[in-house]
Chain A
Amino acid sequence: MIAAGENSVKGNLKDFLIGIIYIAFGLSAVVIAREYSMGTALRMGPAYFPTVLGGLLILVGLISVARAFLQSGTQVGGFALKKLALITLAVGVFGLIVKGTGLIIALPVLVILSAFASNEFRWGPSFALAAGLTLFCVFVFIMGLGVPLPILGSWFGG
């Protein structure tokens, strides 16, 4: 990913990166929209509005990239990749296993995995927090509000 953000460069790295992201989104929008019918201004097809927007986004992206080479800019701060990965992973894993294992296992996994992202991580409080939150969620969300998540999942015959 964009881990090289910390290096100081000539030109404006921020403008450059955002420009590239905009161009990528804009191009995909326009290219994918070619599968849909364009229609006319009077009767717009499903491709009309997204194609116009995609074009506009590409334009904004191009200006941004061009500006990046003309101006020198501020540095991009370092990306906290490890923390970002841990938080994303924790939520992702929760989504993957919650139906299978049930809340009783998936929720502590979410809490502990995400707790690793803190500089002040300690096992004891994290376990206590996981236990407390699991109890709370089982009582409030599943029993109280009837959210259809299993307490013990299908992998354990729940």
Chain B
Amino acid sequence: MELMANLALGLSTAVTPTNLLYCFIGVFLGTLIGVLPGLGPTATIAMLLPITFVLPPVSALIMLAGIYYGSQYGGSTTSILVNLPGEAASVVTTLDGYQMARQGRAGVALATSAVASFFAGTVATLLLAFFAPPLAEIALKFGPADYFSLMVLGLVASVVLAQGSLLHAIGMVVLGLLLGLVGTDVNSGVQRYTFDIPELADRIGFVVVAMGMFGLAEIVRNLENEEQRSIIAKITSLMPTKEDWKRMIAPILRGTIVGSAVGILPGSGSILGSFAAYSIEKKVSKNSAQFGKGAIEGVAAPEAANNAGAQTSFIPMLTLGIPSNPVMALMVGAMIIQGIQPGPSVIKEQPALFWGIIVSMWIGNLFLIILNLPMIGLWVRLIMVPYRLLYPSILVFCAIGVFSLNNSVFDIHLMALFGVLGYVFSKLGCEPAPMLLAFILGPLMEEYLRRALLLSRGNPWVFVQRPISATLLALAVLAMCTVLIPAFSKTREKAFVEGSG
């Protein structure tokens, strides 16, 4: 079977001592930042991007991927033990996880989360292996018009899935597209919006924007309400009872399905998946009365969902070369730095890289179980690191990291500026993720729009005449319509309120 041969190739790539080491470093760092407050995977990967220059491409991507899904594990640990999500996707885990901890079942909650995540990670890895190659086959047939429509669909989805006002999310996307155009226009050589600053001629670096809006702005937000973290819960037994096992199986399965499906969609990545899984579980569960009071289902389902989503969000990136969230955009950046053009041809031209990454994800999930259960004591101590020592260190790494990308002091100042912008927007209730996505897609969209219209001799109907493009646009319209239908928009609001409540 071809799949088996491919997985074997991946295995032989992933289990070399070097790659195993970087996989381990990745998931270790991921768990670390998941546990530490106020440091998400986007900012961390942005900081570490310069270091990956010196690594071989496979090792670099294996490590970065490990950071991403590792952070989902670490984030749930703090949710359960101190009622503070270490990472946005684990917000819902606080609802029942922390209640379980208060009832003296912290260990069981942690074990449930680990088992759910491992199972979901395994399934999602298999899904990736099954569906990525055929999707890439289809993507090879994409013309410029199809790519343009695909990006429209991606941006619409990120707007629909964004938190807060729909109108403002649209504005953020348009603003992001505009910011992405700063720099030299590839077709005419004209410098746009550069204000004669030479550093801007080469476009605003994505890492600069990501670190400013996610790193710096987030620090100021966290400083607004500094809180002491104290661990109430003691960890006694890790082993779930027979009854626990029985109760968690179905929620894990459902969470995995929901998380995998939502993870492919652009926008919030794994965050929405965990919200959705929790809401569904609450509806279908026999024990729905216990939800919010320490129901094991309320831990199992969202934990499975966020880990599955973190992994399926690689599908659009690896097959189409289009990032579905800021973390994937950084992965695209890392690939370009390594001289690999992400897109449907990666599977054919770099099979060892592609399958190596996929198999490494499964190995990484195995590492995570080992890291998280026996080593829980170490993480517990790290949770106690006070924020006042943590955030100056984050700033230092951001400043040096952003400098080292282009050896440019200007980028440091630009990052500070985006920090201010990001803070103002977040205070006004605008989520930065759709803007970042649009920022990356901006120049690509313009390029594909130009090419599509050039090929069609200026006929704008080309976008609805090509079947692939027309389907994608129809999906985009459909997605927009669903939000405008009152019933759905209420559920959307409710899902977010429940999640953040």
Contacts and interface: CB of A to CB of B under 8 A. Distances in A.
Interface of A: 2, 5, 14-15, 17-18, 21-22, 25-26, 29, 32-33, 36-37, 40-46, 49-50, 53-54, 56-57, 60-61, 63-64, 67, 76-77, 79-80, 83-84, 87-88, 90-92, 94-96, 98-99, 107, 110-111, 114-115, 117-121, 125-126, 129-130, 133, 137, 141, 145, 147-149
Given A64-B167, A64-B168, A147-B404, A40 B458 contact: yes
Nearest to B411: A95
Contacts of A54: 178
Contacts, number: 183
B478 to A, nearest CB: 21
A50 B193 CA distance: 10
20 contacts: A18-B429, A36-B185, A41-B453, A44-B449, A44-B450, A46-B185, A46-B190, A50-B193, A54-B178, A57-B178, A61-B171, A64-B171, A79-B427, A83-B223, A87-B216, A91-B416, A111-B395, A126-B392, A129-B393, A133-B393
Interface stretch (B25-33, B118-126, B319-327, B383-391): B383-391
Given A17-B428, A60-B167, A92 B220 contact: no
A88 B416 contact: yes
A2 B193 CA distance: 25
Given A14-B429, A141-B400, A114 B391 contact: yes
A115 B412 CA distance: 18
Interface string B186-207: 0110101100000000000000
**4 interchain residue pairs of minimum CB distance:** A42-B458, A95-B412, A118-B388, A46-B185
Contact of B167 (A33, A45, A63, A98): A63
Contacts of B185: 36, 46
Nearest to B185: A46
A42 B457 contact: yes
B226 interface: yes
A149 B450 contact: no
B178 A53 contact: yes
Contact of A25 (B178, B188, B392, B423): B178
Given A17-B428, A121-B388, A46 B167 contact: no
Interface in B393-419: 393, 395-396, 398-400, 403-404, 407, 409-410, 412-413, 415-416, 419
Given A50-B193, A148-B407, 5 more contacts: A22-B175, A77-B427, A83-B224, A90-B395, A118-B226
Contact of B170 (A43, A60, A67): A60
B400 A147 contact: yes
B51 A92 contact: no
Contact of B449 (A14, A49, A114): A49
A113 to B, nearest CB: 9
Interface residues of B, number: 63
B387 A145 contact: no
Contacts of A2: 424
Nearest to A99: B409
Contacts of A37: 188, 190
Contacts of B171: 18, 22, 57, 60-61, 64
A124 to B, nearest CB: 12
B392 A45 contact: no
A117 B419 CA distance: 15
A145 B427 contact: no
A18 B430 CA distance: 9
Nearest to B423: A84
A125 B392 CA distance: 12
A131 to B, nearest CB: 12
B457 A88 contact: no
Contact of A42 (B223, B409, B419, B453): B453
Contact of A36 (B51, B192, B400): B192
Kindly name the residue among B51, B226, B388, B396 whose own CB sees the greatest number of chain A CB atoms within 10 A: B396
Contact of A92 (B187, B391, B416, B429): B416
Contact of B416 (A32, A49, A95, A117): A95
Contacts of B392: 110-111, 114-115, 126, 129-130, 133
Given A42-B453, A46-B192, A95-B416, A118 B174 contact: no
Contacts of B388: 115, 118, 120-121, 125
A140 to B, nearest CB: 9
B441 interface: no
A137 B50 CA distance: 14
Contacts of A42: 453-454, 457-458
A29 to B, nearest CB: 5
Contact of B54 (A107, A118, A145): A145
A58 B416 CA distance: 26
A36 to B, nearest CB: 5
A53 to B, nearest CB: 5
